[in-house]
Amino acid sequence: MNDPTAIGQPVLLNMDDVRVDPVVALKTPAAVSTRREMLPFIRWQGAIHVACANIGDVGGLAALQRFYDLPLKAEAAEPQSLKRAISRLYSVSKP
């Protein structure tokens, strides 16, 4: 009975379990993705799917849209796992 969809709550993506396509994600500059807490993670069914801490952030989606020719589809993501995914993607290895 702990199924969140059974009580009408959205299911949040756990970005620790999602494979991010770097070809899609790296079209967005790190500063934009970090500031907006949004990470485009896959091109699927004619859209770019974007993990978002706040799917209602229309301004953030508009900022991302300029980097893509396809429409964006906002997907609700668990905020802490999203931050970790952004950090993993944009981290620079230091010698």
Give per-residue pLDDT as tens, 4-54.
555 666 789 999 999 999 999 999 999 999 999 999 999 999 999 999 999
Contact 39, 14 (CB under 8 A): no
**77 has a pLDDT exceeding 70:** yes
Contact 50, 27 (CB under 8 A): no
pTM of the model: 0.85
